[in-house]
Structure 1
Amino acid sequence: MTEEVSINEVNKHYLDKVMTLSEERDVEATEDIFDARGMKLVAKGARISRDLQERLILHKLQKPLESSIAVANGVNSEIVVNAARQLMDTLAPVGVMQKATANKGPSPLDVMKQAKFGNSMSLMLTITERGGETALSHSVMVSLVSVCLAKKMGLGENVQSTVALSGLLHDIGELYIEPEYLDSKRRLRPHEWRHVVVHPRIGEMLINELENFPPSVAQAVSEHHERFDGGGYPRRLSGKNISIAGQILSVAEMISGVLMRQDRPLERAELALKIIPGEHAHELVSAVSSVLRLCGEEQQAAVQDSTQHQMVYDRVQMLSGCIDAALQHCQTLADTPALKSRAGKDSLAKGIQQIFAVKRAFNSTGLEICKNENIEEFLAHDKEIQFEVAVAGREIQWRLHDIARNLALHCATLDAEEAQILQPLIDLLDGAG
């Protein structure tokens, strides 16, 4: 199902990022680095440079490379807190969220300030920082939102500290993945997701091996893409099998990207959380809604949405056809004995369950009504309805892609014949835009 990474072998993708960083910053060996046979490869204090890349990649090391190198003036808790302050100053909902949850015990910023990490994590966050102007901001945002939600739910300081650290480090596993699969300009095909879904487990492994954090930190990192209804990855956990810190991280990761948008982020965030009932725990969704309402009371007038109405209308028609065709295809598969293994039948049953959930969301958000209108009738609606349809349509589209991804991952565990039987359904769902 996934590509595994071993901490005992130098990862070429991570090493290449280290070498690129070394061209801008001083990266040094904090101890002698030996290969598995005891031969010294790098002396303590030596600068890490491109000249060493081949030597390090060709040898199995006695200790993980990550534990033996450090970057000068790397990301630390002070830099993290300053980045959080900048987010609060530039994004009104984030500032209000922090202020609304800072009245009991340490403020969210104080909790983040106490989040200490060692050389290896500092190096990874420094690499993240130079990965683009929003890369570190996203990690800081997830950390800040997670702490705010933990405080809103009345959870103790241990949980707050856990989500502060795990939110900050939740995506470090991506540093070990082939960069082409992380290109935001490229939409992955379902079968390509196997390269990406491993990153929560890589992050978990790195934290367990390289830091002395409480086990809850690594666990939450491993769970940040899980969903309460079992529709997430990498382990397809559900319900209370996901730690409370993992549940918080999952929600914070989902809404953080939305809150960084300029066009009505509050409405988008709330709809994203509620569109599929049961996708997240009710208590957590209620806490988020409560905080978002506080934000809405103080936020300045929302930026007007500039949706292209014809595109939105066409998307609704396309999604309706895709959902109906997918359900019809599922019924055909269910009526034939094509899938013989228990795993194959379970994969289909889970897919049907998820498609029906999307169908219910399609109807409950009003898209079903718009489907039966012509373009002139659709344009006659006020701008508020058109905006809601646009956001709901995009969320439905993403959920169909998620189902295609999950089915493709399940197919990796089936024999070739059964995987081939499910492939047309995967293609149909992935074709939703």
Structure 2
Amino acid sequence: MTDPLLETGDSVQDRPHYLRRVTDMAERCSVVTQDAIYSESGIKLVEKGACIDSRLYDRLVQHKLREPLDTHLSVANAVNMESLQQAVRQMLESEPLPLLLRKALGDAQPLLEPLRSLPLTPPVAFKLTVLREQMPDLFLHSLQMMLVALYLGVRSGLEPHQLTSLAAAGLLHDLGTLHMDPTWRDPSHKVTGPSRKHLVAHPITSMLLVREAGVYGRAVEVAVLEHHERMDGSGYPRGLAGQDISPMGQILLLSVLVTAFYEKYLDSPAQQLSLVLRLNHRKFPAPLVAHVLPLLTEESNAQSSRALPQGEQIHSLADQLAKAFVQWEQAKSQWSQGGGHAADLGPFAYVEEGLQALKRALTEAGAHPDHHTVLLEHLQGDEQGLAELAYVLREALWQLEHIVFGCQRRWHAELEQGSSPGAVAAAQWCDWVRCLQSG
């Protein structure tokens, strides 16, 4: 069966946010046109040999271009294979996560060798240069993500040509973020309602950019598209589950999580990641997780002496989580009294199933939401036990947000319109959780 997302003939137009990033970069780096730039209607917008600067933004953004902008541009000190390999070598010597991977393999060579045959077309190199200059943290994220993916690929016994494809998928998986509004980069920006479609779309944009390069192959395109899927079907953009996700896509989706934890949590990332993987074992491919968990054990022991959460913080996390479950029970009661029935169980059933799955996972982790008070009393004086509980609670609160995200993405219209008692109950609970998270 063909996939319309992969069979479509659509291409990525140079959207305003990408044009702005290119012209802003040109204020600091020499960017020159190799050919004249024309609008789709044939109007010459910029001469060959012209220097690009931010003043050209207003002219370019008013027109649909005949060809992608970066096919006509060259930039000084562009990303190339030599600079990529040098950046990777430095990371393998100094950054905590790449250093951990190198030590586990006993040698940096398995992580460096696939880069030697990695195709890098001029337009792709230009996009990576924009990413490096305008979004340096995402550029470094892409390199770390690539290294984690390669580690998992090596451990999984992939062939050399497969590792090269995997390196390309890891390196290029977030190119679509170049076309996103900069407000997505603001940690205080809360994404709600229909605006989430832009977040869901970025893997599609990345896939289209990879496909337009014409050198990476379908397996790389598919993997890039799938890097936010989950094994239990709760991911995006297609909500695939299990073996419907390609082998390379499964490697990327786990690599995203591993990389994110080492970038987001300076305090005990290995310990927190280990707990999250155990708490969410249905979301991630078990054979690949088995390659990650041993890495984390020794690292967790080394991190255990660092600053641990305070008791009052843990009480607050437990209280928030318990209230979320109570709030849903109240919503269910109102739904039943309001005439709820099986015919309107869409968003209602989604929230119910998500919370029941979360409750089962918490029970398996020894942290059932009804037992937090007793558990906290039992753990008094056990700093390490309290820290582990705090990590579980933080992850559970994140899972609440993920349930809200999925519900709003799938049933936005029903929630907005209050089309059934179930939709009303789900909408009220989602709003409550959003207030909880923002507070």
Q: TM-score, normalised by structure 1?
A: 0.88
Number of the residue aligned with 2:179? 176
Give the AA of the match of 1:216.
A
Number of the residue aligned with 1:233? 236
Number of the residue aligned with 1:418? 419
2:99 is aligned, of 95, 99, 117, to: 95
Give the AA of the match of 2:244.
N
Deviation, structure 1 residue 202: 0.8
Number of the residue aligned with 1:277? 281
CA gap 1:59/1:189 in 2 versus in 1, 3 angstroms: closer
Number of the residue aligned with 2:68? 64
Deviation, structure 1 residue 135: 2.6
Number of the residue aligned with 2:227? 224
Secondary structure of the structure 2 residue equivalent to 1:418: coil
Structure 2's unaligned 5+ residue stretches are 1-9
Structure 1 contact 228–279 (Cα < 8 Å) conserved: yes
Cα deviation 1:218-237 (Å, max 9, x = unaligned): 21111111101011111111
Number of aligned residue pairs: give it: 424
Cα deviation 1:241-293 (Å, max 9, x = unaligned): 11111111111111112224442222222222221231112112112223434
Deviation, structure 1 residue 21: 0.2
Alignment pair present for 1:152 and 2:149: no
Secondary structure of the structure 1 residue equivalent to 2:50: coil
- Matched residues in 1 for 2:248 and 2:78: separation? 27
Please give the residue correspondences for 1:377-388 in structure 2 after superposition, counting only pairs within 5 Å. Answer: 377=377, 380-388=380-388
Structure 1 contact 97–292 (Cα < 8 Å) conserved: no
- Matched residues in 2 for 1:266 and 1:58: separation? 48
CA gap 1:418/1:70 in 2 versus in 1, 3 angstroms: farther
Deviation, structure 1 residue 361: 2.1
Secondary structure of the structure 2 residue equivalent to 1:81: helix
- Matched residues in 2 for 1:303 and 1:32: separation? 60
Give the AA of the match of 1:363.
T
Please give the residue correspondences for 1:31-430 in structure 2 after superposition, counting only pairs within 5 Å. Answer: 31-101=35-105, 107-131=110-134, 134-189=137-192, 191-260=194-263, 261-293=265-297, 296=299, 300=302, 302=304, 304-330=306-332, 333=335, 345-368=345-368, 371-373=372-374, 377=377, 380-412=380-412, 414=414, 416-418=417-419, 421=424, 422-430=426-434
Structure 1's unaligned 5+ residue stretches are 1-5
Secondary structure of the structure 2 residue equivalent to 1:134: helix
Deviation, structure 1 residue 362: 2.3
Give the AA of the match of 2:417.
A
Deviation, structure 1 residue 154: 1.3
- Matched residues in 2 for 1:416 and 1:334: separation? 19
CA gap 1:243/1:8 in 2 versus in 1, 3 angstroms: closer
Deviation, structure 1 residue 183: 1.3
Deviation, structure 1 residue 302: 4.8
Give the AA of the match of 1:319.
L
Structure 2 contact 25–134 (Cα < 8 Å) conserved: no
Cα deviation 1:371-410 (Å, max 9, x = unaligned): 12397x2661411111101111111111110110111111
CA gap 1:390/1:79 in 2 versus in 1, 3 angstroms: farther
CA gap 1:335/1:243 in 2 versus in 1, 3 angstroms: farther
Give the AA of the match of 1:83.
A
Structure 2 contact 142–172 (Cα < 8 Å) conserved: yes
CA gap 1:302/1:403 in 2 versus in 1, 3 angstroms: same
Give the AA of the match of 2:319.
Q
- Matched residues in 2 for 1:35 and 1:131: separation? 25
CA gap 1:378/1:137 in 2 versus in 1, 3 angstroms: farther
- Matched residues in 1 for 2:329 and 2:83: separation? 50
Which deviates further from its counterpart, 328-337 or 173-182?
Answer: 328-337
Flag the structure with more relative contact order, 1 or 2, with Cα contacts below 8 A and sequence separation at least 6. Answer: 1
Deviation, structure 1 residue 65: 1.8
- Matched residues in 2 for 1:140 and 1:345: separation? 43
- Matched residues in 2 for 1:359 and 1:431: separation? 21
Structure 1 contact 327–355 (Cα < 8 Å) conserved: no
CA gap 1:331/1:168 in 2 versus in 1, 3 angstroms: farther
Which deviates further from its counterpart, 178-187 or 383-392?
Answer: 178-187
User: CA RMSD for the aligned pairs?
Assistant: 2.9
Give the AA of the match of 2:238.
R
Q: TM-score, normalised by structure 2?
A: 0.87
Secondary structure of the structure 1 residue equivalent to 2:288: helix
